A and B are shown apart, each in its own frame.
Chain A
Amino acid sequence: NAGVTQTPKFQVLKTGQSMTLQCAQDMNHEYMSWYRQDPGMGLRLIHYSVGAGITDQGEVPNGYNVSRSTTEDFPLRLLSAAPSQTSVYFCASSYSRQGNQPQHFGDGTRLSIL
Chain B
Amino acid sequence: DQQVKQNSPSLSVQEGRISILNCDYTNSMFDYFLWYKKYPAEGPTFLISISSIKDKNEDGRFTVFLNKSAKHLSLHIVPSQPGDSAVYFCAASATHVSFGAGTTVTVRA
Interface residues of A in 6-52 (CB under 8 A from B): 35, 40-45, 48
Report the Cα distance A104→B6, complex, angstroms. 22
Cβ–Cβ contact B101 & A42, under 8 A: yes
| A90-B43 contact given A42-B100, A59-B96, A99-B93, CB 8 Å threshold | yes
User: Number of contacts between A and B (CB, 8 Å)?
Assistant: 54
Q: Is the CB of A107 within 8 A of B43?
A: yes
Q: Are B96 and A42 in contact (CB under 8 A)?
A: no
Compute how far the CA of A40 lies from the CA of B9 in the bound complex, rounded to whole angstroms.
8
Chain A residues, Cβ within 8 Å of B98: 42
Q: Which residues of B does A touch, CB under 8 Å?
A: 2, 4, 6, 9, 30-32, 34, 36, 41-46, 49, 51, 89, 93-94, 96-102
